[in-house]
Chains A and B, each alone.
Chain A
């Protein structure tokens, strides 16, 4: 094992102990004219970036089985020359060799012969193939989705990694430019994330059997949980549609949901090991989640896997989805070592219905910083085919409408030394994984192409009467709690019940969503948190059953609350808040320095006051230079969909 030269820190990557803030942007070398590479990279630097990111697509380089083009046929494919150009310009590089790419490539970057190998293909619950176009618009043509449990698939990926990893390995930091590598891309059944959509391929069912063996220990224990009489784990047939028919079937159903989560983490970890085995063992290996932060994605558990160093979540959100954006960023802040957006929208793919304006990008990107993101990579910093709205065109020109924002943004980060600032939320709000799994298990209509029918979401959700109480109340409780904290101006983080104890201990108060049931190991971990001095509130009720609905009331002694009002009363009042509930205020600190972010996530102009204690002098550090001084408050006015950033200055 090679010593790690690059590790993940709290504010960025540490290269031999020296901090590199990860403020990056994507450049796709193979889609740009080779002679323009130097021009493009100079423009990237001119916008203030020190780090770039690129995919290295399998189908682009392996042009026939075992035959590779690294620039000898098409000079745009000389990825090593691209790396050398980065090194000459002191640009660091994040690389993403797949195997899945997407990037709007035909067949998502998989070679066609891989996709057409029957042993590679995933299967739906109905037994059919599983086509990418059966859920979501993915031009320009449909392809059969691979199974991420297929041994044949991993064998073929091994051949690709054998070819690409030695090239990457020659350029690892600190002597080379490559500071991190990504294991696969947005791994999640190619957007078919519904519980019973897939993956019922033979190798997936084998992996399911192994998962059950690991989870239950012996077939007798499984039979006890399922009230079944299986002879072997391999004999267990998974459920293929919701809802849970009877209470006694709960274990069988939720195990399948848990397996769907496991397959993702297992395959990302396996691919990460394959990269390490091929020499990429001295830099961090990360993964990017597409957009989900509940089942089948389990970010805390994925980052706890010893093979995966770092997990981020991609964000392509318009301003009017501010709440969803804030929730996702708070979730990353509450759940990961270095809150990271591996793909932060800069422009959009060509089949997206709403191209952002520069003003919309400004609002979204400042919001991302506001709620706690410390690392990001703009996707795409440089345009290419099937993409639009980036700050740099494929010809290496700056787009006058878009580029100035990026130059201002990197200058803002640099001048403030933004990496030194942190939020210090005193509350962690925890989603209940078992509740999410239970609800997922009761879904139906997980069929291909139903997304084309504009069916209401409630048609996909079933509510069987299994004699369980508190489910709807728990869903409502979480929503009400986060809304109440927001309305009271209280900053908080989000996570789920799989968060490790050392992360829980960063917060003096942890509020956990619960219905009647919660996994015993999660109850135990929360109990340990209280024994270590943390304050735990469970609502709207304490669990008295485990995830299989067996008696388990480890949290019987903790405080439970029905409504969120008592929780809001239990937290210290915010240092700064707005007197208009439409505005959101978040404070970041670096020692005595304060940054006060104020967001107006509405379509209306808002005039309000920011309140605080004593006499304070604030200076605007984003946009027009302004100052404001007041005793107890200052007046502010925010245009629709804007963020202001104020720095506290010494009172004159």
Chain B
């Protein structure tokens, strides 16, 4: 969905600081979660290489029997001891295979997000190459890449998207706008790139925001205006629509 020549300009530093946490691709791909006490067992086609505990470091005391015949059994057994929040059993050869396949050609046909999604599919291919107990969630707070693609595909071309998040005192937390052409983000900006706005979580501001998007970026297709607490709930909620309906938000969707 990222155009190879996308234009990101007039970026308000406050908005950018607020959304920066979403830019780490590992959070959408890795099984390990922040703050987890994990055990990582690395083997090479069954031959144990190293076990590392995220709290105490290398663990040579675990008596992992060689060869690792069934990585799933091993992960389950280790997890059953109750010592770790999550146990990872990883075959080096699987990681080598992922690296080899993902770099087999220049991949000029792929946008960056599509490239990362390909890597994701290679890592989590259902094999015993990377086994996690308990298993990783197949989505990120109920957001999925397929869902994103479906949403983008529904947008007319060109179209504009807008997000306005206000602090509880009414000051701006996030003021973001984007243009999509043919299913790709071609321009991203902040309120600095729009006509002056006086945001509030109201229907009248939603209209003002839509008009500003129409004027500068293209026909507004999807716009969300909400408070910061509603935004934070919406990001992690299982029921996105209910999070907005029960929060302080106004929005427009295609």
B76 at the interface (CB under 8 A from A): no
B32 proximity list for chain A (CB < 8 A) = 453-455
B16 proximity list for chain A (CB < 8 A) = 350, 355, 388-389
Closest to A127 in B: B100
A107-148, CB < 8 A from B: 115-116, 124, 126-131, 133-134, 137-144
B99 proximity list for chain A (CB < 8 A) = 124, 126, 128, 134, 447-450
Q: A131-B102, A140-B3 are in contact. Are A451 and B17 (CB under 8 A)?
A: no
Q: A115-B106, A386-B8 are in contact. Are A452 and B112 (CB under 8 A)?
A: no
Smallest distance from the beta carbon of B33 to chain A beta carbons, Å?
8
B103 contacts A131, CB within 8 Å?
yes
Closest to B20 in A: A353
B180-195, CB < 8 A from A: 192
B4 contacts A129, CB within 8 Å?
no
Q: Mark B2-31, 1 if CB is under 8 A from A, else 0.
A: 111111111111101100110111100111
Of the listed residues A138, A144, A357, A456, the one surrounded by the most CB atoms of chain B closer than 10 A to its CB is A456
A384 contacts B42, CB within 8 Å?
no
A447 contacts B95, CB within 8 Å?
yes
Contact of B112 among A139, A383, A455, A456 (CB under 8 A): A139
A601 at the interface (CB under 8 A from B): no
B7 contacts A385, CB within 8 Å?
yes
Q: How many interface residues does A have (CB within 8 Å)?
A: 56
A444 contacts B13, CB within 8 Å?
no
A454 contacts B106, CB within 8 Å?
no
B115 at the interface (CB under 8 A from A): yes
State the CA gap A450–B111 with chains docked (Å): 19
Closest to B17 in A: A355
A73 at the interface (CB under 8 A from B): no
A137-166, CB < 8 A from B: 137-144
B202 at the interface (CB under 8 A from A): no
A352 at the interface (CB under 8 A from B): yes
Contact of B17 among A115, A354, A399 (CB under 8 A): A354
Contact of A351 among B21, B23, B110 (CB under 8 A): B23
Of the listed residues B9, B14, B57, B105, the one surrounded by the most CB atoms of chain A closer than 10 A to its CB is B9
B57 contacts A458, CB within 8 Å?
yes
Closest to B95 in A: A447
Q: Mark B25-49, 1 if CB is under 8 A from A, else 0.
A: 1100111100000101010000001
A208 at the interface (CB under 8 A from B): no
A140 contacts B4, CB within 8 Å?
yes
Closest to B9 in A: A385
Contact of A141 among B49, B54, B95, B110 (CB under 8 A): B110
State the CA gap A462–B24 with chains docked (Å): 27
Smallest distance from the beta carbon of B122 to chain A beta carbons, Å?
8
A176 at the interface (CB under 8 A from B): no
State the CA gap A351–B112 with chains docked (Å): 13
Smallest distance from the beta carbon of A551 to chain B beta carbons, Å?
31
Smallest distance from the beta carbon of A52 to chain B beta carbons, Å?
20
A210 at the interface (CB under 8 A from B): no
B243 at the interface (CB under 8 A from A): no
Smallest distance from the beta carbon of A472 to chain B beta carbons, Å?
11
A141 contacts B106, CB within 8 Å?
no
B152 at the interface (CB under 8 A from A): no
B119 contacts A124, CB within 8 Å?
no
B40 contacts A455, CB within 8 Å?
yes
Contact of A128 among B9, B25, B58, B103 (CB under 8 A): B103
A347 contacts B21, CB within 8 Å?
no
B92 proximity list for chain A (CB < 8 A) = 444-445
State the CA gap A452–B6 with chains docked (Å): 24
Q: How many interface residues does B have (CB within 8 Å)?
A: 57
B40 contacts A452, CB within 8 Å?
no
Q: A129-B105, A130-B103, A401-B13 are in contact. Are A140 and B31 (CB under 8 A)?
A: no
State the CA gap A353–B26 with chains docked (Å): 12
A394 at the interface (CB under 8 A from B): yes
State the CA gap A524–B26 with chains docked (Å): 47
B192 proximity list for chain A (CB < 8 A) = 393
B131 at the interface (CB under 8 A from A): no
A452 contacts B21, CB within 8 Å?
no
Q: A106-B4, A141-B2, A402-B13 are in contact. Are A129 and B26 (CB under 8 A)?
A: no
Q: A124-B99, A140-B4 are in contact. Are A453 and B9 (CB under 8 A)?
A: no
B2 contacts A459, CB within 8 Å?
no
State the CA gap A35–B30 with chains docked (Å): 47
A447 contacts B106, CB within 8 Å?
no
B110 proximity list for chain A (CB < 8 A) = 141-142
A394 proximity list for chain B (CB < 8 A) = 9-10
State the CA gap A143–B102 with chains docked (Å): 12
B7 proximity list for chain A (CB < 8 A) = 385
Contact of A142 among B6, B30, B31, B112 (CB under 8 A): B112
State the CA gap A550–B116 with chains docked (Å): 47
A352 proximity list for chain B (CB < 8 A) = 20, 23
Contact of B102 among A134, A141, A445, A455 (CB under 8 A): A134
State the CA gap A458–B58 with chains docked (Å): 7
Q: A389-B16, A456-B52 are in contact. Are A447 and B30 (CB under 8 A)?
A: no
State the CA gap A393–B193 with chains docked (Å): 12
A137 contacts B23, CB within 8 Å?
yes
Smallest distance from the beta carbon of A388 to chain B beta carbons, Å?
4
A385 proximity list for chain B (CB < 8 A) = 7-9
State the CA gap A355–B190 with chains docked (Å): 14
B96 contacts A447, CB within 8 Å?
yes
B78 at the interface (CB under 8 A from A): no
Smallest distance from the beta carbon of A76 to chain B beta carbons, Å?
14
Closest to A139 in B: B112
B42 proximity list for chain A (CB < 8 A) = 445, 459
A-B contact pairs, 19 of them (CB 8 A): A129-B105, A129-B106, A131-B102, A131-B115, A133-B115, A134-B102, A142-B108, A142-B110, A347-B13, A388-B12, A389-B11, A393-B192, A448-B98, A450-B99, A452-B25, A452-B119, A453-B32, A458-B57, A462-B50
- Beyond the given A131-B102, A137-B24, A458-B58, could you list 19 further A-B residue pairs with CB under 8 A, ordered by the A residue number? A131-B115, A137-B25, A140-B3, A140-B112, A142-B115, A350-B8, A386-B9, A387-B11, A393-B10, A399-B13, A444-B92, A449-B123, A452-B25, A452-B30, A453-B31, A454-B26, A454-B30, A455-B90, A459-B50
6 smallest beta-carbon distances between A and B, as pairs: A388-B11, A447-B99, A353-B20, A355-B17, A448-B99, A454-B30
